[in-house]
Amino acid sequence: MMGSPAYEENRSSDEGQVQVRISKAFWLSENELTQAQWSAAMLENPITFKGDDRPVKNVSWNDAQEFLKKVNDSGILPPGWKMALPTEAQWEYACRAGTSAPYANPSLNALAWYDDLNGGTHPVATKAPNAWGLHDMHGNVWEWCADWYDNTLAGGVDPKGSTSGLGRVYRGGSWFVNAARCRSSQRGSYDPTIRNDELGFRPALVTSE
């Protein structure tokens, strides 16, 4: 089940639950893309306060697509696979790691950097992972997803959201926001050209189509 139940505290109106079946295999990076990984492909770092092991930020959805294209064109990936942003359904499935509560662990403090108005980002994978070994799915930086935003979640098999829209989905919360905005079902959207201090991404390896 994707989205939040009607009784979940702090839920938003765009989180109505839908049933989803993910039929295609995918891998998701165990942490947010780091500044070192970004710089290795793009030969530049868009961040003033630098740290190789911190998540890359100040990258737009369009910037993320440029990074992914460079990797896909490099020839380093196994045949039949490509790197992409996860769909919103893939992202939430991986974030929940089999759970149905607001967070993948009852203690958000164990999982996430959040509500730190003066702290900024932190090195990746310094908080506990979820049950599937994925770090920082809650907090640190918001993560771009592939989908156009729609105020109603798309259910069904391998949903990809709307075919057009005004904003691309981001998920997961950030170092700057409170606990409620780090919930597994929390959704947001920005114009794909927007860059800010809280926005990064986590690449997925998916089957070529």
Kind plus residue range of the DSSP H or E element containing 190 = strand 187-190
pLDDT confidence of residue 50 = 75
pTM of the full structure: 0.95
Shortest CA distance to 91 belongs to which of 143, 24, 33?
143
Q: Residues, the chain, total?
A: 209
pLDDT confidence of residue 75 = 93
The rounded distance, in Å, linking the Cα atoms of 170 and 39 is: 22
Provide block-wise average pLDDT over 10 residues at a time, the chain (209 residues). Answer: 97 97 97 95 75 94 97 95 98 98 96 90 96 98 98 95 93 97 98 96 94
The rounded distance, in Å, linking the Cα atoms of 115 and 44 is: 29
* CA dihedral angle for residue 170, residue 25, residue 113, residue 116, rounded to 10 degrees: 0
For the beta sheet containing 81-84, the strands, ordered from the edge strand earlier in sequence to the opposite edge, are 26-28, 204-207, 81-84
The rounded distance, in Å, linking the Cα atoms of 127 and 108 is: 10
Domains and CATH numbers, the chain: 23-207 (3.90.1580.10)
In the chain, what is the greatest distance between 2 CA atoms, to the nearest angstrom? 48
pLDDT confidence of residue 48 = 60
pLDDT confidence of residue 49 = 61
Whether 31 and 204 have beta carbons less than 8 Å apart is answered as no
